[in-house]
Structure 1
Amino acid sequence: MKPPAISFGTKAETLSALKDVVQSARMLALEYFTVKEWREEKEARLGLIFEKFGKTKFIVRSSRKTEDTSRESNAGVFESLLDIHSPDLGSAIDKVIVSYDDPAEEDQVLIQPMLRNVVRSGVCFSHDPTTRTPYRIISIAEGDDTTVVTGGGSAQTYQIAAESTNLPPNEVSAVLVLLNELSDIFNKKPLDIEFACTREGDHEFLWLLQVRPLIIKQNLQTPAEQSKKLSLLHSKISEGMKPHPDLLGKTNAFGVMPDWNPAEIIGLRPKPLALTLYRELITDGIWAYQRDNYGYRNLRSFPVMVNFYGLPYIDVRVSFNSFIPKCLKKTLGIKLVDYYVDQLISEPHLHDKVEFDIILSCYTLDIEKRLKTLASSNFSEDELGDIKSNLRLITNSIIDPILPIWQKDVEKIKLLGERHSKLMESNLQPIEKLYWVIENTKRYGTLPFSGLARVGFIAVQFLRSLVERGFLSDDDQANFMLGIKTISSEIQSERHTLSKKAFLNKFGHLRPGTYDICSPRYDTDVGRYFSWDTDDIGNNRRVSFSLKDDIASKLDEELVGHGLKTNSLELLKFIETGITLRELAKFEFSRCLSDALELIAAIGKKMNLTREDMSFSDIAMFRELYFSVSDPEEAIKTSIQDGKLAYRDTSRICLPPLITNADQVWCFEWPKLKPNFITSKVVEGRVLAPSDKNIENSIVCIPGADPGYDWLFSHAIKGLITAWGGANSHMAIRAGELGVPAVIGAGEELYDKWSTSKFLRIDCSAQRVEIIE
C-alpha cells in the first residue's frame, strides 16, 4: 500500500505529520508551540509538557519558519539544546527563541524527551548534493551525537546507487529502508535525514530524528539513467579483473594513487584535455618504455592508466607487473604480483604508499627486513634469493658512479630546452607546431623524466634505509634534505636575487595544475602567486651535511657486504643527484607542456573559444588535424561538444579511490585512508584556499601535491593539507625541507571535511587533525 503523501512544513510540523505514518523506524513523541503562545502562556505550556512527558530530560529544538524549506535549510543556524533538566526547561526555551535573532510570532519551538540508550547515530542523503545524482549517502558513527558526523568526526560513510541490489551491512540497510519509505512519502524529492539506533536488551531499534528537504539544483539524474551507466561500468571493470594472457597475476585492482597517481597530478575528475594529455605524454606508452629500459618487465603495449567515464584509475596489475625484474622467473613473477595485489586489497590505506610498503622495486640496505614479509607468506629461501639478486642487478645499474643507466636520460633532458626553443620560434602553423611540441616533449622530456623519476624514488628509498639501519638520524635526514639545491629551493631564493623579469623568464611557465589549461601561469598572473615587496625568504636555508668518518667506514663495509657497487660518499652523492634530477626533469618538460597549453588556448581564441571551452577538447583530435585534411574549427568545436557531453558522466559517477571488486560500482564504503604527516610539529590556524587573499599564517588546502603550488611556501603559510599525494610527492618533500607542518594525501572524504572548516589544529606528531570551528 502506497503511503500518504506529505508536504514539508516546519521541523515540528513535518515530524508531527510523520509520527503515525512512518513504519520502518520509531519516532519520539513531541510537543510544539509558537513564540506567541510561549510568550502569552509560559506556565500553561510547561504544565502541558510535564503532564505529557513527566519530569525527565528534554531536547529543546528550533522550529523556525525559515528552517528546512525547499529554498534553504538553515541547518544548524539556530540553537538546539540537549539534556535539559525539567527545572531548566523554561530558560532553555527562551535561549532557543533568542537564537532566532528577530523571531516572528508564528515561529515555533519543538520539545521532545531525550532519546536514551543510543548506540549509534548518523545522517543520510537521498542524493549526492555535489553530483546531483541519486546516490544514497549514509554516514554513521558510534555514539549518540549526529554532530560527530556532520562536524567532520570519525564516521563510516556508504555510497549506494539508487537501484543497487548490493546492500551495505544490516545496520546501514535498515537506514536505507527508512530512506526509501520517506522518499515515497515525499514524492521522490531529495531528502536529508538524521537518525539514531538504540539498544534494548538484545534488540536494536532505528529512530527517525529529523527529515528536511535537501537543497539541490535541478537537472537531477534519474535512477534509471544512473543504472544504465553503472551497468556498463560494472561489465568493464569485471573484464579488467580477469586474468590476461600477457600479464602476471590472477586478479586486479584499480586505484587513483598507485604508481603514476593521477589523482595527485590531474585530479579525480580532470577535463578531457588534461586527461588525454596525461595519457599521451606518459601513461599510454612512455611510462612502460622507460621501465623496460631500466631492467623491468616489458609492458610497452599496456597503458598503465584507464578511465571510467573520465575518472582516471591506475591499472594496478599492469603497474605491479612493471616492477618485476625482467630476468626473474615467470612463476616467481606471478607469485610476486599476486602477493602484491593481495596485500593492497587487504590494506587499502596503503594505496598511495605501494612502493614504500608493498612493492620491492629496488635493493636497499634494509632489504632483509623488507623480505621478511615475503618469508612469512610462503616464499622460499631460494625465491627470496632470486628476488634479491635481481633487484641488486637493477639497482647497481642505477647507482653505478661511473656509467649509470640514467646518464642517457640526463643527456636527453639537456637537449629538450634548445629543441623546444627552436620549435616555438619557428614559423610552423599553430596546429603543426603543437604536434611537434608534443612529440618533442615525449621524446626528450617525459621519456627521460620517467627514468629520472625512478632514479629519484630509489634515491629516497636509499635515504630512508640509511635511517632505518642507523647510519643517519631523523635530524641528519632533515639536514641532508636541506642541503640539496633543487628547482623549488631556487624559486624561493631567486625570487629575491633575480629581477622580476629574469625570474619570470626562468620560472614563469609554472602553474598550479600542470595539465590544466584554465590554471594561470606564474608569468600571466604573478600578483596572485608572489609578493615582490617583501624580503622574507622564509625557511629556505641550505645546510652543509657530511657523514662522520667512523660512520662512513661502517657504511662502506655494509655496502660491500650487500654487493652494491658504490661507497658511502658516492651513495650520498647519488641520493642528492637523484632527487635533484627528478625535479629538474619535471621542471624542463613542464615548460614544454605549459607552452603546448598556451598554443591550444591561442588556437581556440582565434575561433572565439575560451580556455574553459578548450579544456573539453581532446589532444588526439589535434594529432588527427596534423595527419589529415579537415576543417580545424569544425573538428575542434565537435571535439569540445563531445567532451562536454562526456564530462557530464564524469561529474556524475562516484567510485572509491581503490576498486577491488566490480560490485563497488553500486555500493561501497568510503575508506579510512592514512594521510602522510610531514614534520612533528603542532599548528593551529584558519583554513584557506590558494585563491584566497592574505594566506600568510593560515592552513592552506589544495587538491593535489602538484609542484605548481610551490609558490605557496613563499607566503609563510602555517600548514598545508592536500587531498592526494604520497610521502614521496613534491609538496611532501618541500614541506619537509622547509619545516612546514603538512597533511599529504588526506583522501577525498577527510579533505572535504577539513577544507570546508574555518579553523583547524594539525598535530603531526600525534598524526591527528581536529576541527576547531
Structure 2
Amino acid sequence: MQLFLLGAGRPANGNKPSALKSIARNTKAMDWQLHGFETVINSNDIHFLGGYHVDEVKDCYPNLNISIIPDWENKSVLQTLLNAPFNHSSVFVTYSDTVFRKSTIDKICNLEADVVFGVDFNWKDRFDSRSQKDIDSAEVLTLNGQEVEFTGLVKFSSRAALIISELKEHKINGNLIDLIWLLRDNGLKVVHYDVGNNWAEFNSQDDIAHFILGTKAETLARLEPVVRKSHIGRQISFSTREWLDNKQSIIELICKEFEGQKLVVRSSSKGEDNWFSSNAGGFESLLNVNVNSDDIIEAVETVIESYGTKRAGDDQVLVQEFLSDVKLSGVIFTCGLESGSPYYRFNFDDKTSSTESVTAGIQADLRTVLVSKIKSGGLFTVAPELKPVLEAVQELEQLLNYDKLDIEFAIDESNIVHIFQIRPVTVNHVGLEVDVKDVEQYLKESVSRFKTQQHAVSSIYGDRTLFANMPDWNPAEIIGTRPKPFAFSLYRQLITNDIWAQQRAEFGYRDVRPYPLLVSFSGQPYVDARASLNSFIPKALSENCAERIAKAYISILASNPHYHDKIEFEVAFTIWTPDFVDEASKRLIPYGVTQQDIEELEVALKLITSNALVRLSDDIKSINKITCASLNDLQKNIVPLDKAYNLLYDCKRYGTLAFAHAARAGFVATTFLKSLVSTNVFTDVRRLEFLKSFDTVAGIFEKDKYKFYCGELSLENVVSKYGHLRPGTYEITTNAYWENPQKYIVSNIDGNEPSEEIEFILTEEELKGISGLLLELGTNISPVDFIRYLKEATQAREFVKFEFTKNLSKALDMCVLFGMAAGISRDDLSFLEFSDLEQLKLNTVSLETVKSLIKRRKQEYSITCSIELPSLIKSEFDFYSFERFASQPNFVTIGKAEGTLKILDNETADALKGVIVMIPQADPGYDWLFGHEIGGLITKYGGANSHMAIRAAEIGLPAAIGVGEKLYEKITMMKRVELDCANQTIREVE
C-alpha cells in the first residue's frame, strides 16, 4: 500500500508548509501524520507530493520520497494527485494539514470497498467555538440528506488506483470528491466512513488542542496512570446530562471514593479549554467542599449553573481530592502566550498555603519566573524550589507530545508535585512561528556580546557592566522593548550614540565618548549601565575618588536590580540637595567609598547644581534655529528621501542636544521639588499647586482645542500647530495627529473650559526655607529666581521636545512619501534603518537591495519577538532564566480614582470617559487621552520625570507611571480598579 501526502499548495495560514507546522518543540505536523500510518504502510511507500517551499520539507525529511509537482501554483489538489508515482497497489491519500488517530486509519484500512473516504457528520461542533470562517472554508458534501465535511482522507483499492493513474489532467477537473463520484459512476464500490472527533486540521490551534487533550477531566484521567514525576489525584468526572439523570448514584460514588476527605469541585467545560472564547477561569470551581450530599449538590450545581443555559449537557464536572498541606502553588505556561515562543513561564505563590491565589489573583506578592527551553537548567539557580515542577511538566509534554500547555500545580510539604488542571494554550500564533534554532543562535550571539563587555575599558571605571532597559533615556518607555529597526536606529542616531554623552560633558560630568549608551541584545534595546553611571560622575573629581564611586554605583545596582529604572534616585547622586551628605554616607560607604570621597563629591555636585540654575537659556537656544532650518529645507525642490535626511540632520544639530539639556534641567527641577517636600519647605499639596500654576505645551494644547471648540481658532490652525505629534514619537507606522485630526483633536474636546493657572505666591516660611537651601548650595540667585528656574525648566523639557519632534515627525512623513513612490509600504519602512537612508541618499545601495534587507529584517524581528529577556541583565545566565521583579510605580497626585480598566488599543473616543486607561509607554503622543475625561492612567514604563507624569500632575489626574512588566501584567487581569495615589496602591474592586 502506498501513502500520498498532498502538500503542494500554499498553507491556509502562515508561511510554513502545512507539513512543517510546529505542534511541539520537536514535533511537526508531518511527524503526527507518519505516526498515524506507521502500522499500515512501510516508510519506503510514503510519498510527499510537494511544491510550496518543498526544499524545506526535503531538509527536514531527507529520507522521505518527495515528488515535486510541476507548475504547482496553478494546479488543484486533484491535479497534484494525478502526478503521483502510482505502482498499481492500493493507496491512501490525505491532505498534508490533517491528522487522524491510528484506530481510525486501521478501521478504514479494513473496510472492503474500492473507495473509502472519511467524512465528519459532527463537523460544525467537532470542537467548541469553531469559527464561522473555519466553517465556511470547510469542504462540504451531502450524504443521505445531511451535510458532512470531507476530511481529505481516502483509501483507493489497487483497481481504483490503476484507473486514477491512467487519467489525464486535461480530462478531469474538480477536486477529490469529484474523483470519487467519477469512480462510483464507473462501477466501483464507494463507501464513506464517519471519523467523528478522531481527526483534526492543523489550521486551527483549537482543533489540534482538543484532538490531543480533550477536556480537563479527560486529559487528567488519561495521564493519571502513567505519570511518574507528579501526582494526579483521584477524580470522578461526569457530564451535566449524567448529573441530571443519575444524581443520586453520582453522589454515592463520590461519598464512597472520598470518604472522610475534603473535595474540589471544578469545571471541565469544552468552552473553557480554549483561549479564543475568553472562558479560561470563566466557570466556577469550589474548594474545601465537605463530603456530604447537601454540600456536594450545592457545589456541583453551582459549577453547572456557571456554564449557562446554552450548554447542551455534554460539559463535565470534575471532582478531586482537596490538597491542604500546600507549600507552593501556581500556574505554568509551557510557551510564550504572545508568540508561542519556547519558554516556561511560572507564576507562583510561595507565601500562603492557598491553591488558588494565582488563578484568583488574590495574593499580591506573587513571583514570576521565565525559563528558556533552550537552557532550562538556569531555573535551578533562579528558583531551585521549582525544579520538581519543571521535571514534572517536561514529562507531561513528552507524554502528550504537545508543548503549549497551561498547567495548574502545587507542591506539598513532602515535595510531591500535584497536577490539578491541564489546559491547552490555543492563542493563534500564526505568522509568529520561528525556528527554535534561530532563537538559540540569537541568544548565543547575545551572550557572547555580553561576555566581551565584562572587562575594564579605557576612560570608563568599573571591571564589569550591567545592562537594563530603563536606567537612562528610558528606551523601554520611548521606543518599547522590541522596537522596529527604524525606530531603534533613529533613537540611536539622534540621541544615544553621542548626544547623550555630549550633553553630560557640557553640563559638568565626565566625558565618556565614544561609548554609546544603547546596545542591542537579540534586537532589544539595553542601556550600558556602566557607561551611564560613569557619565553622571562630575569631571572635577580626582581619578581615585571617581573610580571608587563608579564601582560603588555598579555594585549597588547589581545588588538591587529593582533600582534599574530609578538610578538617579536610588543609585547615583547627580545633583546636590540638602540631604546629600546623610544619604550619600548611608548609600556609598558600605561599598568602599570614603567620607573624604563624599566631601569631594559634594563640592563637585554643588558646582554642577549652581551652574544648572543659570545656564538653561544658553543650553537650549539652538532650538530656535530648528524651525527656520526646517522651513528653508522644505522650500527646496528636492526629493522626499533627501528632505527626510536633511530634516533628521537638523533635528540632531539643533534639536536633540538642546532637548538633552532641557531634560537634564527638568530632572534638576523635579528633584528640587521633591527635596523641598522632604525637607518640609513645601507640603506635597503645595508642590502640586506650584505645578498647576503654569502651563506646559500640553496645557496650551488643551486651551487651543477649547478655542477651536468656541470658534476662535480653525481646525487648520490647530492641526498646523500640533499635527506633528504622534503616539510613538519614533515609530513610522503610527499616524501623526494631522493624519487623523478627528481622533486626536476633534473627538478629544469635551467642551469644558480649561482651568486657568493658579497664582503661586511663596509664603514667608517657604521663602525662608528656600533662602536657606540656596545659601547652603552657595549660589547667589534669589528664591524668586530659583522658583522661576523650576518653572522654566519644567516647561522647557516639554517645549524643546515639542519643537525638535516637528523635524522628526516631518522626516517620517517624507519617508512615507518616499515609500509610496518606491512601492514600499509603511510597515515595510519600519524595517529600514537610518544607515539605509544614508546609503540610498548617496546611491551606494540599490532599492532592490534595500527591499531584500526589509524582508530579512522582518524574519529577524519575528525572532526578536520570540525572545524573553529581563529588565536588567547582570550575568550570562539571565539570558536564559530570570525572575521578573515588581517595580515600584511612580504615583502622581494624591488623588484616588476608581473605574473600569481599559487597555488602550483602538478604543473609540466616547468609550474612555471615567475609565482607568492602561498604556505601555508614557509617550507624549498619547496626550489626546486627556481630552476624554479619563479617570486615571497606568503605564508600564515611564519615570517620575516623564511627560505623562508631569502632565498628570499638571491637571491633577491620578496616575501610576512605570508600574513595570510584572505588575502591569497582573493589572491587565483586573476588570475594575481603584487607583489610590495617596496610599500608593492599585487594587481590584468589585
Q: Return the TM-score normalized by structure 1.
A: 0.94
Shift of 1:194: 0.6
Matched, 1:569 2:792: no
Gaps of 5+ in 2: 1-34, 36-100, 102-210, 708-712
Two-structure CA RMSD over aligned residues (Å): 2.2
Deviation at residue 748 of structure 1 after TM alignment: 1.8
Which residue of 702, 725, 729 maps to 1:492? 702
Q: Which moved more, 1:108-117 or 1:647-656?
A: 108-117
Amino acid at match of 2:872: L
* Higher mean displacement: 615-624 or 377-386: 377-386
Structure 1 residue 318 corresponds to structure 2 residue 523 = no
1:518 corresponding residue in structure 2: 733
Larger Cα Rg: Structure 1 or Structure 2?
Answer: 2
> Secondary structure, in 3 states, of the residue corresponding to 1:111?
strand
User: Using the alignment, how far apart are the partners of 1:769 and 1:272 within structure 2?
Assistant: 35
Shift of 1:321: 0.8
Q: What code does the residue aligned with 2:578 have?
A: L
Measure, in 2, the Cα distance between the counterparts of 1:56 and 1:238: 55
Q: Secondary structure at the match of 2:213?
A: coil
Which of 178, 202, 214 is 2:425 aligned to? 214
- Alpha-carbon spacing, 1:690–1:42, altered in 2? closer, same or farther (3 Å): closer
Structure-2 residue corresponding to 1:117: 325
| Aligned: 1:606 with 2:821 | yes
1:433 deviates by: 1.6
Aligned mates of 1:189, 1:496 — CA distance in 2:
55
Letter in 2 for 1:615: S
> How many angstroms apart in 2 are the aligned matches of 1:672 and 1:293?
35
- Note the C-alpha offset of 1:538: 6.8
2:253 is aligned with 1:48: yes
Paired position in structure 1 for 2:378: 166
Which segment is superposed worse, 256-265 or 521-530? 521-530
Indicate if the aligned counterparts of 1:265 and 1:705 stay in contact, CA closer than 8 A. Answer: yes
Distance (Å, rounded) in 2 between the aligned partners of 1:74 and 1:117: 29
Amino acid at match of 2:858: K
2:559 to 340, 343, 346: 346
Opposite residue 35 of structure 1, the aligned amino acid is T
Partner AA of 1:639 in structure 2: L
Provide the residue aligned with 1:454 in structure 2. Answer: 664
- Listed one character per residue, the Cα deviations across residues 291-321 of structure 1 (whole Å, up to 9, x for unaligned) are 1111211122111011112111111000111
Partner of 2:879: 665
State the alpha-carbon separation in 1 of the partners of residues 595 and 844 from structure 2. 62
Query: Could you say what secondary structure the match of 1:167 adopts?
Result: helix
Residue type matched to 1:127 in 2?
A: C
**1:653 aligns with one of 845, 867, 872:** 867
SS in 1 for 2:573: coil
Kept in 1, the 8 Å contact 2:406–2:423? The answer is: yes
SS at match of 1:650: helix
Partner of 2:485: 272
1:591 matched to 2:806? The reply is yes
Is 1:643 aligned to 2:857, yes or no?
A: yes
Does structure 1 residue 679 correspond to structure 2 residue 893?
A: yes
CA shift digits 1:425-446 (9 cap, x unpaired): 2112222222211111001000
Q: CA deviation at 1:540?
A: 4.2
Letter in 1 for 2:524: L
Partner amino acid, structure 2, of 1:148? S
* Secondary structure in 2 matching 1:683: strand
Q: Higher relative CO (CA 8 A, sep ≥ 6), structure 1 or 2?
A: 1
1:72 Cα deviation (Å)? 6.8
Residue in structure 1 matched with residue 305 of structure 2 by the alignment: 98
State whether structure 2 residue 402 is matched by structure 1 residue 184. no
Which of 481, 487, 495 in structure 1 is aligned with 2:691? 481
Aligned AA (1:346): S
The 2-side partners of 1:534 and 1:722 are apart by 23
CA contact (8 A) 1:264 1:704 kept: yes
Separation (CA, whole Å) in 2 of partners of 1:333 and 1:537: 54
Percent of aligned pairs with the same residue?
Answer: 35
Which residue matches 1:766?
A: 983
* Total equivalences in the alignment: 762
- Identify if the C-alpha distance between structure 1 residues 71 and 579 changes in structure 2 by more than 3 Å, giving closer, same or farther: closer
SS at match of 1:655: coil
2:521 partner letter: F
Give the CA deviation at 1:66: 4.4
Query: Counterparts of 1:393-432 in structure 2 under 5 Å?
Result: 393-400=607-614, 404=615, 406-432=616-642
Aligned position for 1:703:
920
- Using structure 2 for the length normalisation, give the TM-score: 0.74
1:63 matched residue in structure 2: 268
Say whether the 8 Å CA contact 1:352–1:726 is kept in structure 2.
Answer: yes
Q: Is the 8 A contact 1:121 1:140 kept in 2?
A: yes
Question: In structure 2, which of residues 503, 517, 521 is the aligned counterpart of residue 290 of structure 1?
Answer: 503
Alpha-carbon distance between aligned partners in 2 of 1:115 and 1:656, rounded to the nearest angstrom: 34
Q: Secondary structure at the match of 1:677?
A: strand
String of CA shifts for 1:40-97, please: whole Å, max 9, x gaps: 2221221121111115432222223444369878422333222222232123223322
Q: C-alpha distance in 2, partners of 1:99/1:70?
A: 17
Report the AA paired with residue 111 of structure 1: V
Q: Which amino acid aligns with 1:10?
A: T
1:194 corresponding residue in structure 2: 408
Q: Equivalents in 2 of 1:262, 1:534: separation in Å?
A: 31
| 3-state SS of 1:27 partner | coil
Corresponding position of 1:745? 962
Q: Deviation string for 1:561-615 (max 9, x for gaps)?
A: 3312322111111111111111111010011100010011110011232211111
1:83 to 288, 305, 309: 288
Q: Distance in 2 between matches of 1:692 and 1:718?
A: 15
Q: How far is the alpha carbon of 1:545 from its aligned partner?
A: 1.0
Structure 1 residue 630 displacement after superposition:
4.0
Checking the alignment, whether the CA contact within 8 Å between 2:497 and 2:515 is kept in structure 1 is: yes
Tell me how far 1:382 sits from its aligned partner. Answer: 2.2
Tell me how far apart the structure 1 counterparts of residues 854 and 595 of structure 2 sit (CA, whole Å): 57
**8 Å contact from structure 2 (residues 750, 932) kept in 1:** no
- One-letter amino acid of the structure 2 residue matched with residue 514 of structure 1: T
In the TM superposition, what whole-angstrom CA distance separates every residue of 1:493-520 from its partner, at most 9, and x where no partner exists? 1211233221111111111111111111
Q: Which moved more, 1:115-124 or 1:581-590?
A: 115-124
Q: Which range moved further: 108-117 or 487-496?
A: 108-117
Deviation at 1:708, TM superposition (A): 1.1
Q: Match of 2:700, as an amino acid?
A: E
For residues 375 and 96 of structure 1, do their structure 2 counterparts lie closer, same or farther at Cα, with a shift above 3 Å needed?
Answer: closer
Q: What amino acid is the match of 1:525?
A: N
- 2: CA distance, partners of 1:146 / 1:285: 52
For the Cα contact (< 8 Å) 1:556–1:567, is it kept in 2? yes
What corresponds to 2:154 in structure 1?
none
Q: For residues 337 and 738 of structure 2, what CA distance do their matches in structure 1 show?
A: 37
Once the two structures are superposed, residues 235-267 of structure 1 have per-residue CA deviations (whole angstroms, 9 ceiling, x without a partner) of 211222322233111221111111110011111
**Which whole-Å deviations, capped at 9, do the CAs of 1:338-378 have from their partners, x for residues lacking one?**
11121122222222221122211112233233323234544
Structure 2 vs 1, CA of residues 414 and 766 (structure 1 numbering), >3 Å: closer, same or farther?
same
Q: Tell me: CA distance 1:639–1:89, structure 2 relative to 1, closer, same or farther (3 Å).
A: same
Shift of 1:17: 1.6
